[in-house]
Structure 1
Amino acid sequence: ALSLRQADPHPPRQPDRVLRIRGVKTRRNNINVATWNVRTLYKIGQLASVIKEARRLQIDVLGVSETRWTGNGRYRVDENYEMIFAGKDTHEQGVGILIHTRISDKISAIIPKSERILLVRLEVKPKPMVIIQVYAPTAESSTAEINNFYNDLEEVMRCSKNNDVVFLMGDFNAKVGKDHGSQVAGRYALGEQNERGEMLVEFAERHDLVICNTWFKQHERRLYT
């Protein structure tokens, strides 16, 4: 997951990564943000399981990858959460953002760029939040596909403003590597950097972002981005 340098991330918990953002206030002092590759929501009971976990961890904004839902939409799931999603015509890929109803009325913009990129803007104080959930092409994808993904991501990033708190998160299908040689990644990155990892680091450097899950010591399975 990526976030602005100014963010104050705490060590992640289940389901994947949880960030507590101090200073971004609503009726409760903190907004808990997380991301999770759920593999699919196109299965009976899967969404209910995700919501149960989000409620248990008191997550306010949960970005999900590989929803496998078709089309774009927004709907009220239950008394606690709304779901915003972006997909394609077939049950492949797809991204979504689950938002707690205590802050869902702060939504001012929704941009479903593609089945891989979704932006939601929240007008909270003291600074607006921009949440961008992504699901990058896998290693089997072509160079053209990954280039198109990053071109689309560049366009979406331009939708944010200078004073926004931006969270770019999701499954980047990249390996940053321990010897990345960059200030945007920490000492706990995984293995050797691959080409996708190099692209991710360069993107983070251009946009003054940090790769949060490389700054905390945790199990290797949580270091993949």
Structure 2
Amino acid sequence: MVNYVRSCPSDLGAGRHRGVLAKVKRTFRLRFGSWNVGTLTGKFLELADALGRCNVDIACFQETKWTGKSTRKVNGYKLWYSGAPKSINGVGIIERLKDFVVLVERHGDRLMLSGLGAGEKKSFWDSLDELVRSCPVDQRLVLGGDLHGHIGVESDGYASVHGGLGFGVRNDEGRTILDFATAHDLVIVNSFFRKRDSQMITFQSGLNKTQIDYFLVRKGDFRACKDCKVLPREAGFSQHKLLVIDLLLSRRATKTEKAVKPRILWKNLMGEAAERFRSETSSRFTKEIREGSHMEADELWTLLAGGMRETEKEVLGVTRGTG
């Protein structure tokens, strides 16, 4: 599932220096979340409350276990979800920027899970590959989810996509994630921020602690990433923990032209233009007075004034009407 959002209006500030107009540069902060929730049944409201407490603007859910394709609203958030005919898998995107969403595309309900066969895993990565390639290159891409692989602590040959601050021991699924990131010129954001283990571990079951949930962005957009971490205090809803990424985005305001009413170029009233204006005005007045002899005074005045303005425009010209 992928969606497109217009620029967020929550400006952090813009200004000008005394006597000098500054280029207005508006910035806004967005917090994305990724959460394998296990199921939305019976806890949708609580999950939305948790996102609100954590100031998450947009979150992607995995394993929603809801069937069909629809939307739901709760506590200022709107959820778009896509599920299988049976209550398995399922994904969704939940946002409180719902008024700025311009497009939502659903691409099935599949999720990378342990126990899937090699053919199903390949099908998943092929579908994800096609989806990423379809995203316009001039738009920001934030890819988050449970990818069920261990990228390991060290970068080891993947320095361009792995920041060297991972967790655990790399496995084959982790290498697939790294190869995918390399192929699409993405970086795995989790691996670029030094955190405590509790802020890196995204899944915990008993003594088993792993990092299998990730955020990926295009390399050119990485400078906008200000933080990426797990919020362990919201771990009570699932064995998976809420992973968040903070982006500080900037948008330089474009200079707008102030629309003004077109003006007659009186500066051209000289020489031959002045003689032509006098001649055409006199001729036009004579004709209009003759044709408007039956009119009331106000109507005749309106006719003469309109005729004069037309002559002025034809002979002298007018401005384009922009500042």
TM-score band, normalised by shorter chain: 0.7 to 0.9
Displacement after TM superposition at 1:151 (Å): 0.8
Letter in structure 1 aligned against 2:9: T
1:35 counterpart = 2:34: yes
- Structure 1 partner of 2:218: none
Q: What SS does the corresponding residue of 1:105 show, helix, strand or coil? A: helix
Residue 136 of structure 1 deviates from its aligned partner by 1.6
Provide the secondary structure at the position in 1 that maps to 2:85.
coil
- Contact between 2:45 and 2:74, CA under 8 Å: does it hold in 1? no
Larger Rg: 2
Residue 211 of structure 1 is matched in structure 2 by: 188
> CA, structure 1 residues 47+113, in 2 after alignment: closer, same or farther (shift >3 Å)?
same
**Does structure 1 residue 166 correspond to structure 2 residue 137?**
no
Q: Residue 167 of structure 2 contacts residue 201 of structure 2 at CA under 8 Å; is this kept in 1? A: no
Deviation readout 1:39-96 (Å, 9 max, x if unpaired):
1112x2x111111111111111011111111111123224x11001111011111111
The answer to whether the Cα contact below 8 Å between 1:184 and 1:205 also exists between their aligned partners in 2 is yes
Q: List runs of 5+ in structure 1 lacking aligned partners.
A: 1-23, 117-134
1:181 aligns with 2:169: no
The equivalent residue for 1:26 is 9
Aligned-partner Cα distance in 1 for 2:33–2:167: 20
> How much has 1:137 moved relative to structure 2?
2.8
CA distance in 2, matches of 1:39, 1:49: 13
* C-alpha deviation, 1:158, in angstroms: 2.2
CA distance in 1, matches of 2:72, 2:40: 15
Q: Is the 8 A contact 1:137 1:149 kept in 2?
A: no
Amino acid in the other structure paired with 2:190: N
CA distance, structure 1, for counterparts of residue 85 and residue 46 of structure 2 = 25
**SS of structure 2 residue aligned to 1:76:** strand
Kindly indicate whether the alpha-carbon contact (under 8 Å) linking 2:72 and 2:79 is maintained by their aligned counterparts in 1.
yes
| Alignment TM-score, normalising by the size of structure 1 | 0.74
Unaligned runs of 5+ in 2: 1-6, 12-27, 203-210, 214-323
Letter in 2 for 1:224: I
Instruction: Tell me how far apart the structure 1 counterparts of residues 49 and 74 of structure 2 sit (CA, whole Å).
Output: 12
Q: Distance in 2 between matches of 1:206 and 1:26?
A: 34
Q: Hey, which of these two has a bigger chunk of strand by percent?
A: 1
Given the alignment, which residue of 179, 201, 216 partners 1:221?
201
**Aligned partner of 1:59 among 52, 56, 61:** 56
Per the TM alignment, residue 188 of structure 1 is displaced from its structure 2 partner at its CA by: 1.9
Alignment-derived partner of residue 97 in structure 1? 93
**Aligned-partner SS, 1:85:** strand
Displacement over 6 Å in runs of 4+: none
